[in-house]
Structure 1
Amino acid sequence: MNLATLDVVVVAAYCIGLVTIASLVSREKKGHEKDSQDYFLAGRSLPWWAIGASLIAANISAEQIIGMTGSGYAIGLAIASYEWTAAIALLVIGKYFVPIYLEKNIYTMPEFLEKRYDHRVRILLAFFWVGVYIFVNLTSVLYLGALTIEIVAGVDMLYGMLFLAALSLAYSLYGGLKAVAFTDIIQVAILIVGGIAVTFLSLDKLSEGAGVIAGFTYLLDNAPQKFDMILASDHPSYMDLPGISVLVGGLWIAQFSYWGFNQYITQRALAAKNLREAQKGIALAAFLKLFMPFIVVIPGIAAFLLAPNLDVSDKAYPELMKLLPAGLFGLTFAALIAAIVSSLSSMTNSISTIFTMDIYRSTFQHVAVSEKGLVRMGRCAALVSLIIAMLVARPLLGNLDQAFQYIQEFTGFFSPGILVIFLFGLFWGKATAHSALAAAIVSVVVSLAFKLWLTQVPFLDRMGLAFLVSAIAAIAITLYEHKGDHPKAVRLEDFNFKTSAGFNISSLAVVLILVAFYSAWW
């Protein structure tokens, strides 16, 4: 594909507008110097609408858009369970996790672990997350994002990576989380508009100009197998989405680990003006998760009928973009760029936060480190992390046929243990630091053993089993130590988990909508 002149103008306008707005929102009042709270947590001033939009922008990247559209092409609507179960996880996290995080007044998730367990747990998880964010998450978004741009626009991958990294740094390096969060509103708006355009045009094409409703009806009538939400055991994709256990098994491990304890996600809630704003923002994100399959999965199912002979399912989205006229193609291409750079900026900001607050500051705690020094170190960490990611991207991912799936499985080695550490830390007063360390180690060992010797068991089910084994190990060590309640235990009786009427109504609406979806396409 080649960008028309109008498309280039649209993309250029998007990039210029993004950097301009980021610069404006990053300005400090005269006489005020940006401190660590301003840089890493936006001065704890984020309103609900910025939190909700930023949660989605941080989550969705270009390879996920193309990957989920490809999964819609190959599997069907069943892949939407990843989005829809996330909505439930978000609401639970907003009600029960976020109140504790905000009361603890933390910057990072490793900091919570020190306040609940000890410094060893904090520093271990800090180094782990920095390593994973740089060598797995940041590298994958940068590499696969550049690959996406190469497929869609024909831009060489090297130049694509340099462009993405430069754009991400241009609007986020100075302003920190505030610049990221407020520009994410624009990113999500462009993402949704571009996604709707692809969905509408593909459905209209199916109906031969009769409209979207007619196109969707045609889709239901001519590809009913693509609307099975629960896959049978003989389905070719059963190993990826193992039937009913998707709703009751390992997928919840991934959801709660990702949305509840992942720094570049939780950082938005930590930066909220107050608890109510954080919960309203999380409710908004939950509603947006319900909507996402209709702009990333439904087009993939439409492509199954429009272009049934694609050799690779991930070519479905680029194929559908051919339907877009000049200008609208540029807007949709800008939406892909928006998805990439918002994820990049979120990850680099979280890397800099963890490195600065959990590793750098704790290492030099005997030295008086100024607020200006912390901000400077955060900017350096963000810059260096992107440089490292660009250098190692091709060597790490260039020879993998299914890089995204490989990365998901790699992070799945650690997710069960991390979930055990945080769940027990939040809700079981007796859990000890040794049990937390054991859960982390057991999770990796058991996950690796399952991968090597239980290859016939679906990946999500293996995650569920690894979680159970890690939990049992943590419980056994805690009971063996029999020290009673940990001195740093979270005292749940001190918290009021009562939520506002608006949050409760939103939660009920999300649940009812999901019941309707699964009832319609069981």
Structure 2
Amino acid sequence: MAFSTLDIVLFAIYIVLTMVMGLWIGSRKRGGSESAADYFLADKSIPWWAVGGSLIASNISAEQMIGMSGSGYAVGMAIASYELMAAFALLIIAKYFLPIYINKGIYTMPQFLEQRFGHGVRTGLALFWIGLFVLVNITSVLYLGALAIRTMLGIPLLYGIIGLAIYSAAFSILGGLRTVVWSEVVQVIVLIFGGFMASYLVLNQVSDGEGFFAGLNTLVEKAPEKFDMILDKSNPEYINLPGISVLIGGLWIANLYYWGNNQYIIQRALAAKNIKEAQRGMAFAGFLKVLLPIIVVVPGIAAYVLGADIIKPDEAFPWVLSNYVTAGFKGIVFAALVAAVGSSVSAMVNSTSTIFTLDIYKNYLTKDPSDKNLVRVGKIASTLALVIGTALAPTLSSLDQAFQYIQEYTGFISPGVVVVFLFGMFWKKASNRAALWVVILSIPLSAAIKFLAPDFPFMDRMGVCFLVLAAILVAISYIDNGKENDVNAIKLSKDIFKTGWVFNFASLVILIILAFVYIKFW
């Protein structure tokens, strides 16, 4: 790809300024020292707009801009259900999950599980999460970002992975969550602007200069099959997006897990000033989610309509950037892509560090550690997570659609996690032993179904696993507790779930938008 001098200058300025900002924020200490609360939860000082922006910056990464555009090329707008249904899930989690988490005063998801179910469940899922973040999430995002850099600049894959890891380290290691969040606020602005610019320019090309909306209409006219939101069984991509399951089936498991039980996402809401700020931040993130298909899916469909000369779908976004984004804007869009990778990797690294330090190291590897010691261990854990992810990322080069890979293998653990959290929060009879068995059986059950029925859609597999694991939890809980409530059951009142008018109005608007989209493109 030919970058103009202006592109290179704009990109270099962005990279240098964001790294300097990250290092500067990370080097600042309140009162001359850094507490564990500050490093891992930003001292609970984040306002709603930063919560929402940080959630989206953590979420949008190369797996969306590259991977989801690739799926847009191969599948079409149906892949946008991951974004649209996430907006709905954010509202559910903000109203019903967050009040419980914040009232409990927790730092990590495993910490909540210990309060409800004991050490065994906490430790088991802490280890699962650390493995998932490092072996799947960090690794795949570094690979996809480096793939884009190789396609656009010709830089070898390994060098791109190392460069992205160093860039992410500026935000994730030195200053903890505070550095990550405030860096992401800047990055999400560049990311959304750059993403919209890429979509506008390619749609303008599709419409022969008639503009953005004319380009969208042209896509619908030339590739109507790419705008089916609900796929039927005759569609070759049905195995990845199995029809109505995207509305009432397994996609809910994926979304509840990702937005409600996933440490590197929910950690932003836990760091909010108070419950109202956290809920408004999640509603703000919901608004952004309904806009994201324009950034992360439309370029892939446009590449399909324009007859992109690519080998595999994940090359669609780099192809659009290379061929249809003009000088100057190309540097900004490329900066947006790097911002997406950097913010997501830094979020995952920080959360891996948080879980290891507070759930493994503090509980099993030391006695009465000081805040200084916890912060030091957190920084070491962050560094190791980045190093391992960097070493493993090149092994993913054989993937066709990396986004689907991430979703499928995350789906090995998500049904069990959602069962444990839902029943732990809202069913008072759920027992420690039942939750532990769900954790133990989650991966073997998913693997067994995949082995015995390889053509069974993984989204439906998540739904089946959820139902089976829920039945196991209920049965064992009745054996353990009979008609009595569990001794660690959470006491809930109706008042805890009351929300303000701002959140309620925002929720209504989001739901109306979602209803319109699915009715229009059913």
TM-score, shorter chain, exceeding 0.5? yes
**Structure 1 stretches of at least 4 aligned residues deviating more than 3 Å after TM superposition:** 23-32, 308-311, 398-404
Counterpart in 2 of 1:446? 445
8 Å contact from structure 1 (residues 233, 243) kept in 2: yes
Scaled by the length of structure 1, the TM-score of the pair is 0.96
Matched, 1:414 2:413: yes
Q: Which residues in structure 2 correspond to 1:22-41 (within 5 Å)? A: 22-26=22-26, 28=28, 31-41=31-41
Which 5+ residue runs of structure 2 have no aligned equivalent?
none
Q: What is the Cα deviation at residue 132 of structure 1?
A: 1.4
Please, which moves more after superposition, 410-419 or 4-13?
A: 4-13
**Taking structure 1 as reference, are residues 186 and 95 closer, same or farther at Cα in structure 2, changes over 3 Å only?**
same
Q: Which residues in structure 2 correspond to 1:221-232 (within 5 Å)? A: 221-232=221-232
8 Å contact from structure 1 (residues 264, 347) kept in 2: yes
Counterpart in 2 of 1:462? 461
Q: What is the Cα deviation at residue 237 of structure 1?
A: 1.1
8 Å contact from structure 1 (residues 145, 340) kept in 2: yes
Q: What is the Cα deviation at residue 2 of structure 1?
A: 3.7
Counterpart in 2 of 1:270? 270
CA shift digits 1:107-150 (9 cap, x unpaired): 10000000111011111111111111111111111222212211
8 Å contact from structure 2 (residues 71, 401) kept in 1: no
Measure, in 1, the Cα distance between the counterparts of 2:158 and 2:228.
Answer: 40
8 Å contact from structure 1 (residues 417, 439) kept in 2: yes
Measure, in 2, the Cα distance between the counterparts of 1:243 and 1:271.
Answer: 37
**Taking structure 1 as reference, are residues 22 and 232 closer, same or farther at Cα in structure 2, changes over 3 Å only?**
same
Q: Which amino acid aligns with 1:422?
A: F
8 Å contact from structure 1 (residues 91, 507) kept in 2: yes
Measure, in 1, the Cα distance between the counterparts of 2:94 and 2:5.
Answer: 45
8 Å contact from structure 1 (residues 180, 345) kept in 2: yes
Q: What is the Cα deviation at residue 308 of structure 1?
A: 5.3
8 Å contact from structure 1 (residues 99, 495) kept in 2: no
Counterpart in 2 of 1:280? 280
Measure, in 1, the Cα distance between the counterparts of 2:204 and 2:260.
Answer: 39
Counterpart in 1 of 2:344? 343
Q: Which residues in structure 2 correspond to 1:13-52 (within 5 Å)? A: 13-26=13-26, 28=28, 31-52=31-52
Matched, 1:57 2:68: no
Measure, in 2, the Cα distance between the counterparts of 1:96 and 1:32.
Answer: 38
Give SS of 2:324's match. Answer: coil
CA shift digits 1:202-259 (9 cap, x unpaired): 1111221122222222222222222111112111111111112221110101110111
**Taking structure 1 as reference, are residues 123 and 495 closer, same or farther at Cα in structure 2, changes over 3 Å only?**
farther
Q: Which residues in structure 2 correspond to 1:159-174 (within 5 Å)? A: 159-174=159-174
CA shift digits 1:67-119 (9 cap, x unpaired): 21122222211111110000010100000000110111111000000011101
Measure, in 2, the Cα distance between the counterparts of 1:220 and 1:408.
Answer: 27
Aligned length: 520
CA shift digits 1:473-494 (9 cap, x unpaired): 0100001112521221111127
Matched, 1:182 2:178: no
Please, which moves more after superposition, 456-465 or 36-45?
A: 456-465
Counterpart in 2 of 1:77? 77
Q: Which amino acid aligns with 1:418?
A: V
Give SS of 2:160's match. Answer: helix
Cα-Cα RMSD = 1.6
Measure, in 2, the Cα distance between the counterparts of 1:29 and 1:241.
Answer: 47
Q: What is the Cα deviation at residue 495 of structure 1?
A: 5.2
Q: What is the Cα deviation at residue 30 of structure 1?
A: 6.3
8 Å contact from structure 2 (residues 203, 216) kept in 1: yes
Q: Which amino acid aligns with 2:111?
A: E
Which 5+ residue runs of structure 1 have no aligned equivalent?
none
Counterpart in 1 of 2:374? 374
Measure, in 2, the Cα distance between the counterparts of 1:171 and 1:461.
Answer: 37
Q: Which amino acid aligns with 1:91?
A: L
Q: Which amino acid aligns with 1:336?
A: L
Please, which moves more after superposition, 102-111 or 216-225?
A: 216-225
Measure, in 2, the Cα distance between the counterparts of 1:277 and 1:401.
Answer: 40
Matched, 1:143 2:143: yes
Measure, in 2, the Cα distance between the counterparts of 1:122 and 1:470.
Answer: 18
Please, which moves more after superposition, 182-191 or 468-477?
A: 182-191
**Taking structure 1 as reference, are residues 197 and 103 closer, same or farther at Cα in structure 2, changes over 3 Å only?**
same
Please, which moves more after superposition, 33-42 or 225-234?
A: 225-234
Measure, in 1, the Cα distance between the counterparts of 2:66 and 2:168.
Answer: 20
Please, which moves more after superposition, 344-353 or 434-443?
A: 434-443
Counterpart in 2 of 1:363? 364
Give SS of 1:466's match. Answer: helix
Q: What is the Cα deviation at residue 409 of structure 1?
A: 1.6
Measure, in 2, the Cα distance between the counterparts of 1:402 and 1:317.
Answer: 13
8 Å contact from structure 1 (residues 63, 148) kept in 2: no
Q: Which amino acid aligns with 2:470?
A: A
Counterpart in 2 of 1:153? 153
Counterpart in 2 of 1:248? 248
CA shift digits 1:148-205 (9 cap, x unpaired): 2111221112221221111111233221101110111111111111111111111111
Counterpart in 2 of 1:330? 331
Counterpart in 2 of 1:101? 101
8 Å contact from structure 1 (residues 190, 338) kept in 2: yes
CA shift digits 1:359-385 (9 cap, x unpaired): 1111145x2311111111111110111
**Taking structure 1 as reference, are residues 391 and 27 closer, same or farther at Cα in structure 2, changes over 3 Å only?**
closer
Give SS of 1:232's match. Answer: coil
**Taking structure 1 as reference, are residues 440 and 18 closer, same or farther at Cα in structure 2, changes over 3 Å only?**
same
